[in-house]
Structure formats: structure tokens, C-alpha cells
């Protein structure tokens, strides 16, 4: 068989993506094994999975009227009072119901098993249960059987629910969509890097780093939202870099239905848009009105996809309640301080993410080892230093400039969000920056292999500082 020369880079790229899938799947299986071995003290949920997975299960049954696939017929029965639980436990053996777990502390519930669905449903009715949730054991939180996670849009939860319905309700299956998103993130890193650098080697190196970076591996092995945002952020950026700026906004709108932090991608998209626009006009008002027009298109895309993807929920709860819960309160939630003090998760500022400070502990295994939401810190530090070191160098139209726009735009957007009131950001948000960090770092280092580019940067700093000093002297004359 003869291979086209253009196909050769696909072989290492396929290997890199496969390595990422293998690492993510291995970690997902490890976490499932850890949780099952510690059951019932552990319930299978890692970090914020307890919110998103339970919400996905509730969406599956309450919005779509479906039940998850199960290897064994099990359900969590919810009761109004603790006294009802004691009565149900006394009745269980009579109806061939096995009680798997009865030590919930924040909800009045029993987790039970039977030979078929009808046995559990009959027992639930006779024992006075107010709700029956088939599938994996619910998380131990008040009203978790009603929780829909309205503070975040529904698309990721739809995909988790789909995985439950098709494959089954167990931790590994919840994580299949995340594993796929990790693969997409790795793949799109290559295409974004190649569009910027036109170098297959640079692109393969960047995607290889992303594939094995702890942030990517861990976030693509658990069922939380940020890896979805990371994957589709890259698709949007890729389209923008290819000159398809309106299509990039369509993907941005779609991405916002995973989590509103996707909207922060608008800042680097705007940078790229302005770069393209000023080739036609450099007048301030022209640039301003063009930017406002681009913002208007972004808002329209956001509104369209929010309504489209939330349509099943809107039909169920009404548009007024949906708008209040899923838009107004959701934006308020993103701009608020969520939890401070003892017992709260470790929060961090966007600049902390580059230095591995205040990293969020995703999981602590049975040996006491913690998995932290932190990337390969030396690479993150190097990119942070280069982000500011190359600032005056950006007056030159070099290959690294687009990569710089992207990482600067995302970092600026998260910093603005922090200053606007969202002081309880968490380090796993940084997975949205992971690929841009490596694309920028590898592209910039590749550019600096030419010593003249380093000299050009130093001369740009010399010129900038000379102008600054002249301005300071002018003040005192």
C-alpha cells in the first residue's frame, strides 16, 4: 500500500490522540474501581460529578421520560420522613427487596435492588416512597432527586444522560463523553497549531503535550463540564483562524450550552476579528462599530442556541421560569462568590493556574494520593513569562502573534470575570487554557530558534522603555 505524503503526519497524530484516550480511559476505570471498592462509604462520584451526573439522570427521567440501562435493577427510594424508612426496611424482605444502602444523612432514602422494575415500583408504593430514581445510587444531598443544575446549560448533561441510556448508569459510562472531548481537544490542538505555525512538527509537539498534560487527562476522565468547553473552544478558534469568523460565533453559541465560561472565548475571537478588519480600515470608529456588530452576532448566537438546546426544559417548566433560573440566576451565579471558609473547595485566581497555586483536589484515592487539577507547571510558567515578555514584540506580524492573541484573550477574560466578582474560580477551569498555552509556548519557542527574533524582542523592549522614559522626563521639565 502506497501512502500519500500528506497522510504521514496523521499516523503520529492518531497515535497521540490514542494515547490520550488510553490515559483518560485508564484513569476513568481507576476512579470507578476505587469508588466501587469503597462502597458504600464512596458512591462513585468524583468531584462535581455528584451534581452533573445526578442532574443528567433527573433530566433523563423527568424531561425525556426515559430510564438508564442497568446491569442490575436498582433504585434510590425517597421518603418524606425518617420514620417511613424504618417501616420500609421492615417490609423489604417480604417483597424480595434487598437493601443495598440505608445510611444517607442529607436525604431520607434507601438504595435497593430487586429482580425487576415492577417489584421496586410496587414496594415503593406500598412503603410510601415519594420518589423512585432507577439507576446508580444518588449522591447524598438534600433534594438531589429534583436537582437539575439550572445554573449551567444542559448540553453536557444531555450527553451524559445519553450515555446512561445507551451504555448504562455506572461511572465509566458517565465519562465516555468526557473521554471523547479529551480526544477532540488533543486533535483540535494539532489543527489550531498548524493553522498558526504551518509546521507539522510544532503542531504534533503541541498536541502531544496536551494529550499527556495532567489537566487534560484528569478532566477528560471525569464527567464535569469544563472539558466540553475546552474541546469546542478550540473548534471555534480554529474556524476564526481560518477566516470563518461568523461560523466561529455559531460554534461559540453552541459551546455556551455546555457552560457560560465558553463565552469568554469571545475575547480572543474579537482580537482575531480586529486583526482581520484593520486590513480594511484603521479608523477608530470603523473598528469600534465593526466590533459592536461582531458582539451583536455573538449575542444572537448565544440566545439562539440557549433556546434551541433548552427547548425540552422550556416546554416542561415554562419560558419565564427557565429564563429566571437558567439565564438570570446563572449569570448571577457566575459573577458571585460561591463558597468561602472552612469546608469549601479551594478557590484560585486565573494567575494562580499558571503557577500551580491553590489547585483544586479532584480526588483522593484509597492510598491518600490526591489528583489535583493542575497542568505541567514548568510549561505553564514558561508560557506566562513569554506572554508578557513578548508584549512589545507583538508590533511585528510574526507567526506566534495569533497564538498570543488566544492565550492573552482567555487569560484577560478570566481575569475580568474575577475582578467582576467571581472570586471563587477553581483551577479546573484552566483546562480551557491548556491547549492555547501549549500552542503559544511551542510556537513561540519554535520562532525563537531564530536568534534574530530574540534580538528583535529585546530591541522592541528597548524602544518601548526609551519612549516611556522620554514621557516621564517630559512630565518633570
Structural domain includes residue 137: yes
Q: What is the pLDDT of residues 33-82, one digit of tens each?
A: 998 888 877 788 999 999 999 999 999 999 999 999 999 999 999 999 99
pLDDT at 5: 59
pLDDT at 341: 74
Domain-ending residue, one of 140, 174, 208: 174
Same domain? For 87 and 210 the reply is no
The pLDDT mean for the chain works out to 93
What is the count of structural domains for the chain?
A: 2
For residues 289, 295, 296, 299, the Cα torsion angle rounded to the nearest 10 degrees is -170
Structural domain includes residue 330: yes
Same domain? For 207 and 91 the reply is no
Look at the block and give the residue holding cell 530558534: 449
- Whether 259 and 225 have beta carbons less than 8 Å apart is answered as yes
pLDDT at 3: 52
Which CATH number do you get for residue 126?
3.30.70
Q: What is the pLDDT of residues 235-248, one digit of tens each?
A: 999 999 999 999 99
Domain-ending residue, one of 174, 206, 225: 174
Structural domain includes residue 168: yes
Same domain? For 137 and 250 the reply is no
Structural domain includes residue 20: no
Residue 7 has pLDDT above 70, yes or no: no
Structural domain includes residue 470: no
Q: What is the rounded CA–CA span in Å between residue 286 and residue 77?
A: 62
pLDDT category, 2, cuts 50, 70, 90? Answer: low
Q: What is the pLDDT of residues 436-476, one digit of tens each?
A: 999 999 999 999 999 999 999 999 999 999 999 999 999 98
Q: What is the pLDDT of residues 197-244, one digit of tens each?
A: 999 999 999 999 999 999 999 999 999 999 999 999 999 999 999 999
In the chain, the percentage of residues whose pLDDT exceeds 70 is 98
Structural domain includes residue 50: no
Helices 266-277 + 401-419 axis angle, to 10: 130
Same domain? For 142 and 189 the reply is no
Instruction: Quote the radius of gyration of the chain (alpha carbons, Å).
Output: 25
Residue 297 has pLDDT above 70, yes or no: yes
- Whether 59 and 154 have beta carbons less than 8 Å apart is answered as yes
Same domain? For 418 and 451 the reply is yes
Same domain? For 154 and 202 the reply is no
Q: What is the pLDDT of residues 141-182, one digit of tens each?
A: 999 999 999 999 999 999 999 999 999 999 999 999 999 999
Domain-ending residue, one of 149, 174, 199: 174
In the chain, the percentage of residues whose pLDDT exceeds 90 is 86
**Average pLDDT in the 248-263 region?**
97
Structural domain includes residue 12: no
**Average pLDDT in the 373-400 region?**
95
pLDDT at 337: 83
Same domain? For 79 and 143 the reply is yes
Q: What is the pLDDT of residues 78-114, one digit of tens each?
A: 999 999 999 999 999 888 999 999 999 999 999 999 9
Same domain? For 347 and 413 the reply is yes
Stretch (H or E) spanning 408: helix 401-419
- Where in the sequence is the domain holding 405, given as residue range(s)? 178-459
Same domain? For 255 and 159 the reply is no
Same domain? For 372 and 242 the reply is yes
Same domain? For 115 and 235 the reply is no
- Whether 427 and 362 have beta carbons less than 8 Å apart is answered as no
Residue 1 has pLDDT above 50, yes or no: no
Q: What is the rounded CA–CA span in Å between residue 447 and residue 451?
A: 9
197: cell is 505555525
Mapped onto helix, strand or coil, the DSSP state of residue 113 is: strand
What would the DSSP string read from start to end of 33-77?
HHHHHTTTTS-S--TTHHHHHHHHHHHHHHTS------SSEEEEE
Q: What is the pLDDT of residues 303-355, one digit of tens each?
A: 999 999 999 999 999 999 999 999 998 898 888 887 777 778 889 999 999 99
pLDDT category, 4, cuts 50, 70, 90? Answer: low
pTM of the model: 0.94
Structural domain includes residue 395: yes
Same domain? For 163 and 107 the reply is yes
More confident residue, 345 or 262: 262
Amino acid at each position: 500500500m502506497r501512502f500519500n505524503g500528506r497522510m504521514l503526519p496523521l499516523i503520529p497524530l492518531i497515535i497521540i490522540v490514542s494515547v490520550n484516550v488510553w490515559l483518560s480511559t485508564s484513569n476513568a476505570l481507576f476512579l470507578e474501581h476505587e469508588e466501587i471498592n469503597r462502597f458504600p462509604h464512596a458512591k462513585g462520584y468524583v468531584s462535581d460529578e455528584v451534581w452533573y451526573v445526578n442532574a443528567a439522570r433527573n433530566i433523563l427521567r423527568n424531561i425525556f421520560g426515559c430510564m438508564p440501562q442497568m446491569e442490575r435493577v436498582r433504585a434510590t427510594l425517597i421518603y418524606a420522613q425518617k420514620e417511613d424508612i424504618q417501616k420500609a426496611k421492615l417490609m423489604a424482605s417480604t417483597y424480595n427487596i434487598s437493601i443495598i444502602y440505608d445510611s444517607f444523612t442529607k436525604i431520607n432514602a434507601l438504595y435497593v435492588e430487586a429482580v425487576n422494575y415492577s417489584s421496586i415500583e410496587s414496594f415503593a408504593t406500598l412503603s410510601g416512597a415519594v420518589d423512585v430514581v432507577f439507576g446508580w445510587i444518588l449522591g447524598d444531598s438534600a433534594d438531589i432527586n429534583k436537582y437539575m443544575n439550572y445554573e449551567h446549560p444542559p448540553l453536557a448533561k444531555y450527553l451524559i444522560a445519553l450515555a446512561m441510556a445507551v451504555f448504562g448508569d455506572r461511572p465509566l459510562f458517565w465519562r465516555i463523553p468526557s473521554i471523547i472531548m479529551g480526544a477532540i481537544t488533543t486533535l483540535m490542538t494539532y489543527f489550531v497549531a498548524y493553522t498558526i505555525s504551518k509546521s507539522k512538527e510544532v503542531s504534533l509537539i503541541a498536541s502531544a503535550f496536551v494529550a499527556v498534560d495532567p489537566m487534560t487527562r484528569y478532566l477528560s476522565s471525569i464527567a464535569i463540564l469544563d472539558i466540553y468547553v475546552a474541546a469546542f473552544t478550540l473548534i471555534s478558534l480554529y474556524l476564526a483562524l481560518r477566516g470563518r469568523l461568523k461560523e466561529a460565533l455559531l460554534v461559540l453559541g453552541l459551546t455556551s450550552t455546555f457552560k457560560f465560561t465558553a463565552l469568554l472565548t469571545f475575547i480572543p475571537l474579537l482580537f482575531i476579528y480586529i486583526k482581520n478588519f484593520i486590513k480594511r480600515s484603521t479608523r477608530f470608529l470603523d473598528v469600534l462599530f465593526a466590533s459592536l456588530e461582531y458582539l451583536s452576532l455573538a449575542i444572537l448566537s448565544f440566545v439562539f442556541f440557549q433556546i434551541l438546546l433548552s427547548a425540552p426544559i422550556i416546554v416542561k417548566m415554562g419560558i419565564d421560569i427557565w429564563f429566571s433560573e437558567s439565564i438570570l440566576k446563572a449569570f448571577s451565579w457566575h459573577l458571585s462568590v460561591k463558597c468561602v471558609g472552612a469546608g469549601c473547595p479551594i478557590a484560585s485566581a486565573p494567575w494562580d493556574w499558571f503557577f500551580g497555586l491553590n489547585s483544586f483536589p479532584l480526588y483522593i484515592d484509597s492510598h491518600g494520593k490526591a489528583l489535583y487539577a493542575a497542568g505541567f507547571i514548568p510549561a505553564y510558567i514558561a508560557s506566562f513569562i513569554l506572554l508578557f515578555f513578548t508584549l512589545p514584540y507583538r508590533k511585528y506580524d510574526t507567526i506566534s502573534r495569533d497564538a498570543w492573541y488566544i492565550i492573552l484573550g482567555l487569560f484577560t477574560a478570566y481575569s475580568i470575570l474575577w475582578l467582576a466578582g467571581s472570586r471563587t474560580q477553581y483551577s479546573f477551569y484552566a483546562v480551557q487554557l491548556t491547549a492555547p498555552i501549549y500552542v503559544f509556548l511551542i510556537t513561540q519557542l519554535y520562532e525563537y530558534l531564530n536568534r534574530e527574533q530574540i534580538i528583535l524582542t529585546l530591541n522592541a523592549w528597548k524602544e518601548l522603555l526609551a519612549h516611556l522614559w522620554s514621557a516621564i522626563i517630559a512630565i518633570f521639565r
